A and B are shown apart, each in its own frame.
Chain A
């Protein structure tokens, strides 16, 4: 087995000055918008007594699933942070920003877990064993590997994927009736807006340095992510199995106003986001090939 080699850090000279003022500003705003999940969410107001058992179980699965997705960041963000520290010349602003982002991601995990628990019990793994590989992406291994194209990784996860999460969370919020779910989703949207802005601001900053080869690597990484992760149902379970337990749970959660949208609505959001991403990437000279990807099919 070939062992993973990582870059070697050259600590000095150690730049800590503000280099990308827009990202530094996001870091400052992140600190200002700090909140405390166990205090700022009115957990005592939760009352699911009017819900039948099937609805509670379904919503619990939907929110547990969100915890699994958010959990990826507990290794991804520190790994990305370390990677930026290992590469000479990386600015301090993204590093500072990522430390705030990771705290917010931990709060998201905590909220999803607690909400699922209140619904009757957090579920600690997918309904189908085969789905586990979709979540087991080991992103930290990828980004710490010296062979990883860091900007491609950033484009996939900090620009593209966070953008998808933002548009989905916005839609969940619009459709949420239950007040605690609404409050949680409001916080998620506020944080994700900054996370997405970070991804694209940094992309614009870095794009001046990209060669054609870099752009090709980014396009390939994005398409690979779409095919290997998204279309396998990572964010939208119906893409993997429209009749599966998690897709059914989504429908029930949506109907109960507990912070979800239907598969049909997710499809619209997903496709619109892809087209938006394609256009934004084109501005950076990255050509995202969506052939065979959209229109999506739900059966």
Chain B
């Protein structure tokens, strides 16, 4: 087992007392999300009409592409199982409002449902793939860096949630909403719809938390939030974490884009650069507008495929 030698202090180096242990509702709007999530649980095995999937409706090439696409989705969802639970530890460590700590337990369960659903779809298409066909693509999809941020006491919870939720998850949510509109296969569409419904709450969680916290934060603290969002945009999103066409241009990312195109043509759940680009730009502009009242001023971003936006 490889071990990362610690070079700087993390929250694991702090002794923590859980007392006084506050369990009261402190942010009612987040407690409400937790209760809503408890009431709206679903089961990928039971609540998706798998019998409606007809693989014979697709060519072998389409099925192979879609297998890769849904496997990639599963890897992305898995990141929230492998990394995001560290945030829950951070909420407890920082004695954040109890509503966050409770909500995040069910959020992680939802992420595992998403990974499971994507895995099952890849299986239905011919088999889940355990790694990118193109090894060079691993760098773009391996991590969004949240575990590391959650461990780092110098990065505030507000900064992490603004970056992870209000930026990254907001972008993912808009793509899911778009996928629900364009995905023709009934089973793929059901999965996208189910995931999108959960993601509504995941996004609301971030915005509601920041709306609650920002009035109590200093300009310096808000600047840290801004920097974290910019980093998430530039280093993760614009590097292709969610969308292959945004990844650095190389044979591996071009191959993934071809996978997206074939899957989209088949109506099996993906989208393509031409359709996603205006959506992506709109989302980023909306995020920018919504963060302005907080005093978070996002700069213009640049990407070779988009230009300045």
Contacts and interface: CB of A to CB of B under 8 A. Distances in A.
- Chain A interface mostly helix, strand, loop or mixed? helix
Contact of B88 (A5, A74, A87, A144): A74
A106 B32 CA distance: 14
Contacts, number: 181
Interface string A57-94: 00000000001100100110111011001111000000
Contact of B115 (A1, A12, A16): A16
A14 B130 contact: yes
Interface in B128-181: 128, 130-132, 138, 142-143, 147, 151
Interface string A1-32: 10111111111111111000000000010011
A4 B12 contact: yes
B4 interface: yes
Contacts of B241: none
Nearest to A96: B112
B137 to A, nearest CB: 10
Contacts of A86: 82
Given A13-B130, A124-B19, A124-B21, A8 B12 contact: no
Contacts of A39: 39
B78 A14 contact: yes
Interface string A123-166: 01110000010011010110011100000000000000000000
B290 interface: no
B12 A102 contact: no
Residue of B85, B93, B111, B138 ringed by the most chain A CB atoms within 10 A = B85
A136 B82 contact: no
Contacts of A135: 18-19
A113 interface: yes
B185 interface: no
Nearest to B128: A16
Nearest to A126: B19
Contacts of A120: none
Nearest to A68: B21
22 contacts: A3-B13, A4-B12, A4-B13, A7-B2, A7-B3, A11-B143, A16-B119, A31-B46, A34-B41, A37-B38, A39-B39, A78-B86, A81-B81, A82-B83, A85-B81, A99-B112, A102-B105, A102-B108, A103-B38, A106-B106, A124-B21, A145-B12
Interface of A: 1, 3-17, 28, 31-32, 34, 36-39, 67-68, 71, 74-75, 77-79, 81-82, 85-88, 95-96, 99-100, 102-103, 105-107, 109-110, 113, 122, 124-126, 132, 135-136, 138, 140-141, 144-146
List 6 tightest A-B contacts by C-beta distance, closest first.
A78-B85, A3-B6, A13-B130, A85-B82, A12-B131, A106-B105
